[in-house]
Amino acid sequence: MDRLDAMRLFIRVVERRSFTEAAHDLNIPRSTATTVIKAMEDRLGVRLLQRTTRTVRPTLDGEAWYRRCLAIIEDIEDAEGAFAGAEPKGMLRVEVQGTLARHFLMPGLPDFFARFPGIELTMSERDRWVDLVQEGVDCALRYGAPPDSDLAMRQVALLDRVTCASPDYIERFGTPERLEDLVGHRLVGIRRLSTGALTPVVFQTKNGPQAVEMVAPFSVTGPESYLLGVQLGLGLAQLPRFHVEKDLASGALVELLKDTPPLPEPVSLLYPRSRQLSPRVRVFVDWAAHQFAARKRPPITGAA
């Protein structure tokens, strides 16, 4: 058995948690599977699997080797598929900002799977910045300016934002008519996952962008908690228009400072450069860009 087939066997053993089941799937004797994995461990000089009477589990080294094997096999299959003109297939691991995904991507997933039935999509949301290469993620959907990195990037949208607050907050603190009126007002802060820093409050003016220092007694990292903090009257905030359209229409939130709106925020898809030629990543990025273009609503009439 060559090294690539041995990697495929190791992947199957880890996923099936069984030498017997993996050997059956690959139509080889169980003894052959055991011998191949033992030779792999000897060659690498580490123990890859913990064996018990009931199951087989990867060690820490085994988990790392499993991810490397997956990446190698997927790269080879992608390269062969690109030359053969085959339909994209296999596992696609995507890290998303959940609010964006639920609004812009998930409504179109039935069409995506109809077009690409061979792709298995795993979509995850985590409250931390994910290292795509180290954690085996193929693509990430990010809101806001991404940090400098070696990742490839495609901007798929530039989302309008609004400054808003709840009627209760306005009753207690008043309605700011100009940026100078923000003195004494409170902010619901949003912190960047990549750095933990509070996102600056910046407005568009006739003289260019203007940052305003504000007190933020309450700050969060998640968009849903951010919106809830504003709804509860904890402060004013700058939010994507699509996220607050219903609240603005119902009167649950009130748009402020329309003549000096916040700067729009980019939405980007980031992926390791090694994935640029992957058919799975390529079709997903193209599809996602189309979803944002199709679902991005224009600003409400009368808004700045």
Same domain, 124 and 200: no
Burial of 226 (0-12, 13-18, 19+ CB in 10 A): buried
- The predicted pLDDT at position 282 comes to 86
- Domain span at 12: 3-83
* Bigger pLDDT: 297 vs 178: 178
Residue pair 51/41 in contact (Cβ under 8 Å)? The answer is: no
Listed in sequence order, the residues at least 6 apart from 154 whose beta carbon sits closer than 8 Å to its beta carbon are 268, 269, 285, 289
Q: Are residues 75 and 221 in the same domain?
A: no
Residue pLDDT, tens place only, 39-87: 999 999 999 999 887 789 999 999 999 988 988 887 777 677 666 566 7
Domain of 178, CATH number, reads 3.40.190.10
pLDDT in tens, 227-265: 999 999 999 999 999 999 999 999 999 999 999 999 999
- 3-state secondary structure at position 162: strand
> In angstroms, rounded to a whole number, what is the distance separating the alpha carbons of residues 157 and 288?
10
- What is the dihedral angle through the alpha carbons of 244, 289, 139, 237, rounded to the nearest 10 degrees? -20
End-to-end Cα distance, the chain: 66
CA dist 173 and 235 (Å) reads 9
Lateral strand order in the sheet of 152-159: 119-124, 90-95, 139-143, 265-271, 152-159
The answer as to whether 153 is a domain residue is no
| 301: in domain | no
Whole-model pTM: value is 0.69
In a domain, 300, yes or no: no
Q: Are residues 18 and 38 in the same domain?
A: yes
Radius of gyration of the CA atoms of the chain, in A: 25
For the CA atoms of 69, 71, 75, 76, the dihedral, rounded to the nearest 10 degrees, stands at 10
Weakest mean pLDDT among 9-23, 141-155, 255-269, 284-298: 141-155
Is 155 a member of any domain? no
Task: Tell me how many domains the chain contains.
Answer: 3
Q: Indicate whether 112 belongs to any domain.
A: yes
